[in-house]
Structures are given as C-alpha cells and as structure tokens.
Amino acid sequence: MAANRLEPTGSGSDLGKSTAPAEAAAAAPAPAVPAAPGLQAWLPLIVTVVAMPLLAYLTTTFFLLPKFQRALGATPPAPPAAAAAAANAKPSEGEAPAETHEGGGSKSRYSVAMKKVLVNVAGTLGTRFLVVDMTLVGANPTLDQLFRDNEPELRDQAIACLSSKAIVDLEKPGAKNLIRSELVSLFNAVLGPNVVQEIFFTEFAIQ
C-alpha cells in the first residue's frame, strides 16, 4: 500500500530564494530616528553670542582705551561723580580756569572781556575806523569786579590810546604788541599794580 505524501512543488533552490528576502528583512535593524536637538546642543552658541560683546566692551574700556589715551597724552574720562564735582567747581563767567605749572603747583588766572572799542584812526579825517575787542587777564580774583567798577575809565584810556594811532602805526611790524603793552600800563594805572598781566585781542580790524 502506497503512503500518502505531499511532495513540494518547487525545487529546493526555489524555496531558499523565496524565504531569503523575508529573513533578511526581518534581520535588518530599523533605521534610527534622529533625536531632536536639546538645549545642550545650543548652549555653546548662546554662551558665545552673549560673551563676545561683553568681552569686547571690557577689552576696549579697560585695556585699549587707556592705552590709546596714554599714547596721546590724554586724561582718562572722569567717573560721573568726579565729573559732577568738577562742573560744580568751574569758575564763574569772566574767569579763566586754573593753569598748572611744572613743579606741581597751580596758579589761578582770571579774565574779563572788553567789547567793541571803536575809534577813528588818526590822520584819516574820520574816514577810517579801528574796531578792537580784547580780553584782560590777571591773577587777581577780583579782576571782574574791578573791571565793572572802573569800566568807563578803562574804556576812556583804551580810546585815547587807540585813537592816537595812524595807519602807518597800525601797519608796522609788531604794532599789536606795542599797543598791548601800552594798554596794560594804562589799565594797571587805574586798577592797581600788576592787576592786568596780559591782554589778548579777539578782534582788531581797520575799516
């Protein structure tokens, strides 16, 4: 009696071919899903963005700027408190700031302006005019008050001196220095010895 058996319909090689792809697909690992970047991935960039401007500011303020100021002989900017104190201590109008001399000492100088001294030039029959603005400088702290108390007499002295000059006198080399010396002597005769030490012409025009 013959046994009932089911024979495979395909060959052994065909069976191996059909099952191999399925086994390879099952054995291959699934592709990894990239994890989303967290805060740690951005932390170095954030630190760099924040730190670089701060580092640049500190380097400029405390290293480069003082170095440039020393090279140029400039004085570093004063703190706000010191600047406010210096502003409150500035001299009043008509006074010049203190000058520092070699040796560490300081000497205050004060100034006052004499505006628009207008005179006829001598020898021109009133056709030519001289206009002078000047600043009086001295070490006397009461210079401004002395000037205001004696301004009419000081102007009269200046007019007398300037109106005595002819065109040839005004055009001589060093004419301004000669006039300056004359005015210093005339003003000190009114205000007192050595009250006016220098005179600066801020306008000296012949019209």
**DSSP class per residue in 11-66:** -HHHHHHHHHHHHHHHHSPPPPPPPPP-HHHHHHHHHHHHHHHHHHHHHIIIIIHH
Q: What is the mean pLDDT of the chain?
A: 73
Indicate whether 36 belongs to any domain.
no
Give the number of domains in the chain: 1
pLDDT for 140: 92
pLDDT for 13: 45
Name residue 152's amino acid.
P
Percent over 70 (pLDDT), the chain:
59
Between 123 and 12, whose confidence is greater? 123
pLDDT for 182: 93
Indicate whether 176 belongs to any domain.
yes
Name residue 14's amino acid.
D
Task: Among 5-9, 46-50, 103-107, 182-186, name the most confident range.
Answer: 182-186
Between 66 and 128, whose confidence is greater? 128
pLDDT for 31: 53
Indicate whether 5 belongs to any domain.
no
Element (H, E) at 82: helix 80-88
Indicate whether 193 belongs to any domain.
yes
Q: Which two tokens stand for residue 75?
A: 């004085």
Indicate whether 13 belongs to any domain.
no
Q: Is residue 104 over pLDDT 60?
A: no
Indicate whether 151 belongs to any domain.
yes
pLDDT 10s digits, 44-72: 777 777 777 777 777 777 766 676 666 66
pLDDT for 187: 95
Between 129 and 42, whose confidence is greater? 129
Q: CA angle, corner 111, sides to 107 and 112, nearest 5? A: 165
Indicate whether 140 belongs to any domain.
yes
Q: Is residue 9 over pLDDT 90?
A: no
pLDDT for 132: 94
Q: Which two tokens stand for residue 157?
A: 């002295």
pLDDT for 18: 46
* CATH number of the domain where residue 139 is located: 3.30.479.30
User: Is the separation of the CB atoms in 206 and 170 below 8 Å?
Assistant: yes
Q: Which of 26-30, 156-160, 177-181 has the lowest mean pLDDT?
A: 26-30
Q: Is residue 17 over pLDDT 50?
A: no
Instruction: Please give the distance of CA 167 from its chain centroid, rounded to a whole number.
Output: 44
**Other CB atoms within 10 A of residue 35 CB:** 7
pLDDT for 44: 74
pLDDT for 38: 61
Q: How far is CA 108 from CA 89, 103, 125, 170, 177, in A?
A: 13, 15, 44, 33, 24
Which residue range forms the structural domain that includes residue 177? 108-206
Indicate whether 18 belongs to any domain.
no
